Amino acid sequence: MSVRAGIVITGTEVLTGRVRDLNGPWLADQLLELGVELAHITQCGDRAEDLTAQLVFLAGQNVDLIITSGGLGPTADDLTVATVARFYGRDLVLDDALEQRIAAILRRLGAGRPGVDFDAVMAANRKQAMVPVGAQILEPVGTAPGVVLYSEHQPTVVVLPGPPRELQPMWSTAVATDGVQRAIAGRTRYLQRTVRMFGLPESGLAETLREAQFQVAGFDNLEITTCLRRGELEIVTRYEPDAADSYTALVELLRERYPRELFSEDGSLIDDQVAGALAGRTIATAESCTAGLLAARLADRAGSSAYLAGGVVSYSNEAKIELLGVDEALIAQHGAVSEPVARAMAEGALARFGADTAVGITGIAGPGGGSEQKPVGTVCFGLAVAGSDTVARTLHLPGDRSDVRERSTTVAMHLLREHLGSTQLP
């Protein structure tokens, strides 16, 4: 790749770890899709001299594009625009039209309500309408506009807001500007595709990819990155358009070797696939060790109210008995973490919510509570579908308490995908 970029994440709260940086990884992925090489991601606090040092450093690394995130608000520590303007040798000027657009946004947000001094609010926000001379303005998504500064003799600088909900939609606008298009004009164009697998260890995939070097013509033209997320393997491949046949051959090899494990060839997430499989159905959850995480995951998708009936967090044995109707003798005989109890939990949720599909989860997330027969990481799943026999499965999941709980939700989602695809509505 012949075009290089650097990212500066500003904000003392990010630098100190109080707020996790979501913008750096997201922007990195966007740059890769554009065919732009990411050279550096740096972080600095809300100090003008520190941001200037980052800009000077990146310019010295011969990057073509610098992206900053954060520091565009109305408060005294929001210094990014002024600092970038000084770095670029540009004065700040008040953009009257932009000020009026910001005022209209503030009125919509309620700043013009009775009892609110709107003039004081506008005075505090006026600095957001101060922009460097010659800058291209990116319309606000919240109240803060972004800017793009271009020069033939300096890196193009894109100044974006900090909140991801504002930065992400503004990015596409920034990319379309003349300044960014000139900066990335010499980039190599790539295609990027993602496939997802479940139930395969990373070592198994690594061995297959080593064999693919000799079986797939043009394999060296594929840039492959693998990552384990929530217990699933994500395989991201970038390649130039003329290597498309090599990528197709790689996917065919994976499909042939792992017909059950390969569940997504178009990059779709298991959550999206389950949401699609639940169309026309209703689902309920009964959760012990996951304590509502599965219900929350099902509810993350817009439109989930059409299929999510409800859930029970039955952490204690008493809750399992009283809320889900699990037989006390069943718990005494098999233990709370057992397939019979997981089945009973799922069937109890099915009946309580009048749903046609239900999942029960009970397990030992740790760090204590395990035994030789049922070590930490033992999780039992029950899947009840009206008109069909209830399915149960026990797995031993690796990791700490958080890992076990999160991976349990992934297992449950894959149980749903596997069984709903072949089960007709009653």
Measured CA angle at 84 (ends 109, 155), to 5 deg: 120
Task: Give the mean model confidence (pLDDT) for residues 283-294.
Answer: 98
257: enclosing H helix or E strand: helix 244-257
Q: Which fold has domain 191-268?
A: Alpha-Beta Plaits (3.30.70)
Task: Give the mean model confidence (pLDDT) for residues 362-372.
Answer: 95
Examine the pLDDT at 105 and tell me if it is beyond 90. no
Burial class, 328, CB count within 10 angstroms (exposed 0-12 / middle 13-18 / buried 19+): exposed
Task: Give the mean model confidence (pLDDT) for residues 265-294.
Answer: 97
What would the two tokens of residue 285 be? 């959850």
Examine the pLDDT at 1 and tell me if it is beyond 60. no
Residue among 416, 418, 408, 401 at smallest CA distance from 294: 408
196, 228 in Cβ contact below 8 A?
no
Q: What is the pLDDT of residues 28-69, one digit of tens each?
A: 989 988 889 999 999 999 999 999 999 999 999 999 999 999
Mean pLDDT of the chain: 93
Encoded amino acid at 159, one letter: V
pLDDT score of 422: 59
Confidence of residue 393 (pLDDT cuts 50, 70, 90): very high
Give me the residue spans of the domains in the chain: 4-184, 191-268, 271-422
Residue among 67, 78, 66 at smallest CA distance from 13: 78
Dihedral over Cα of 415, 416, 417, 419: its sign: positive
Task: Return the higher-pLDDT residue of 116 and 126.
Answer: 126
Examine the pLDDT at 104 and tell me if it is beyond 90. no
User: How far is residue 316 from each of residues 123, 268, 269, 335, measured CA to CA in Å?
Assistant: 56, 36, 32, 12
Examine the pLDDT at 338 and tell me if it is beyond 60. yes
Q: What is the pLDDT of residues 409-418, one digit of tens each?
A: 999 999 999 9
Task: Give the mean model confidence (pLDDT) for residues 379-384.
Answer: 98
Task: Return the higher-pLDDT residue of 284 and 101.
Answer: 284
Confidence of residue 113 (pLDDT cuts 50, 70, 90): low
Q: Distance between CA 301 and CA 164 in Å, rounded?
A: 18
Q: Distance between CA 370 and CA 128 in Å, rounded?
A: 57
Examine the pLDDT at 268 and tell me if it is beyond 90. yes
- Does the domain at 4-184 match CATH 3.40.50.620? Answer given as no
117, 89 in Cβ contact below 8 A?
no
Task: Describe the crossing of helices 202-215 and 244-257 by its angle, rounded to 10 degrees.
Answer: 130
Q: Taking the CA atoms of the chain, what radius of gyration do you get in angstroms?
A: 27
In the chain, the percentage of residues whose pLDDT exceeds 90 is 85
pLDDT score of 187: 85
234: Cα within 13 Å, side-chain hemisphere? 13
Q: If you classify domain 271-422 with CATH, what class do you get?
A: alpha beta
Please name the residues in contact with 249: beta carbons below 8 A apart, sequence gap of 6 or more.
216, 217
Q: What is the pLDDT of residues 206-218, one digit of tens each?
A: 999 999 999 999 9
Q: What is the pLDDT of residues 71-84, one digit of tens each?
A: 998 888 889 999 99
